Amino acid sequence: MGADGLESHLASIANNREHAAVVKVLVEWLMEDQSKEGHHFGQFGRHVDASEEAFFQPNKEEVLSLKPRLYLTGWPCVILARHGLAEQQVMLAAEGANRLLRHEVVHVSQSSAPDMPPDSTPVIVSFRHSIRAAQILLDVGKHLEKVRGILGRMFDPSLGWQNKDGGWGQSAQFRESDLWASVYAAALLQKLLVHATFFVRGETKNVEVILQRTVDYLEEKWTESKWAYGSVPPEQNASNVFIDVARVFEQRANPLYTAVLQWLSTAIEPTSGTIRESLFEKCPRFTRAQANTRFAYAFFLGGHLQERWKTLYDMALSHLDESVNSADVSFLLDMTIAIEKQQKSQACTEADVFICHASEDKESFVRSFAEALQPHVRVWYDEFSLTVGDSLRQKIDEGLKSSKFGVVVLSKAFFNKNWPQYELDGLAQKEMSDGVKVILPIWHGVSKEDVEKYSLSLAGRLAVTSEQSLDAIIGKILAVVRPNR
């Protein structure tokens, strides 16, 4: 299938918006877009619009036909692997990344440095491509020894991959801090901190410091230029950057996370929810399919309610006769599956009970309580209801909204955590607006005096304690949740 055939394949979605059909077409498009041989073996982006690629290159003489397409490969790997789709293609992409790292780092035949002429011999060590290749292997869970090798180079100050300003260089020949190299580094380090097995004792603290320096650099670049990149204006590049590091900012730079989303929101017409025409005037190379897809996915990752990003998503599907790349198609795929899951969830009606707790109490009480309660009622509990890649804030908001009651496990750990307080505030608001009892407290290792110090109103509620047997606790909860059972 040629490029024209691929575009018409996507355009067929306009005639059939049934989500299973959309998923099928998007996955087939990605499978067709993967190279099976040559310089780009295993990489996605076979039918990328060369003019868009060239637009992002500071060196306009760069030989793009030789350049690794790892941005365009990374996102299909993440989304397809997340949903268990096209496993053969994901493994092929991992093998392609492994081949690029056959000499431990990725060598390229040209750099984006403006003073570097194009060269057909791959002799330049590319920090940026090496980091992205390691990220692909980590996402897929293959050839992890190569990931450890890249980490060793990233953490070795004598090699100079990270600069004093916290940013990361592009290559051994072009060491000035580069926005996209720094974005890739931040995303990789954030993911690695979840995998404690990658680090020896005491090393995590050093990784935290390195990552925070990177975040500080990205925040500085946001303040300076709103992430403009070469000739690419911020209106076109900021959503791309945010998508790659949204999870990093959500956990480590929440004010910046909020500020970027607010800035992106200024491009949206408040009444129609569509992108302002002025953005396309500023960014003539930004197709409506690309812009709507990337803004929709940024708001999706930003935890906005579906009503906010769904309009943009629908607009993107309506313009798929225009140019999109494999990253765009992956974003659409992830959102389509999320919509499909939400519709199935809504079809299963609301949950009966939301379990609000501190994670420190899982082992001692909460997990066994949730497992004992689940056979009797519909339970919203993070270990049952969340999957890898979910937006924590968005999913919690959905759980709070859909649940009739909230069991609140009050403990000393609970009193010192922000997320449980956020959930409790949501349950209290639901109780006030609905005018019915919602909050069902369980005291776990605390006295009435402890609860009074935290909240007099909670201390005044009739509660059960975790000292009672699970059967007794479940019985008392069910007497409220299912009084006529």
Residues marked active site are found at 423
How far is CA 101 from its chain centroid?
Answer: 25
The CA-CA-CA angle for residues 222, 333, 18, to 5°, reads 135
Give how far the C-alpha of residue 387 lies from the chain's centroid of Cα atoms, to the nearest Å. Answer: 12
- 188: phi then psi, degrees, rounded to nearest 5: -65, -45
Query: What is the DSSP secondary-structure string of 383-429?
Result: HHH--TT--HHHHHHHHHHHEEEEEEEE-HHHHT-HHHHHHHHHHHH
- Which residue in the block uniquely carries the two structure tokens 């039918």? 47
Label residues 99-131 b or e (16+ Cβ within 10 Å = b).
ebbeeebbbbbbbbbeebeeeeebebbbbbbbb
- For residue 69 the two structure tokens come to 């397409």
Distance of CA 462 to the CA centre of its chain: 40
| Beta strands across the sheet bearing 403-410 | 379-380, 351-356, 403-410, 439-443, 464-465
- Asked if 199 and 250 count as a contact pair (C-beta separation under 8 A), the reply is no
Q: Give the dihedral of Cα atoms 162, 163, 167, 170; nearest 10 deg.
A: -70
Closest CA to 404 of 381, 380, 374, 373: 380
Contacts of 66 (CB under 8 A, 6+ apart): 39, 108, 109, 110, 120, 122
Please calculate the CA angle 86-128-197 and round it to the nearest 5 degrees: 65
For residue 170, which phi and psi values (nearest 5 degrees)?
-80, -45
Give the residue among 124, 104, 212, 131 at the shortest CA–CA distance from 171.
Answer: 124
Distance of CA 280 to the CA centre of its chain: 26
What are the structure tokens assigned to 242, written together? 């945010």
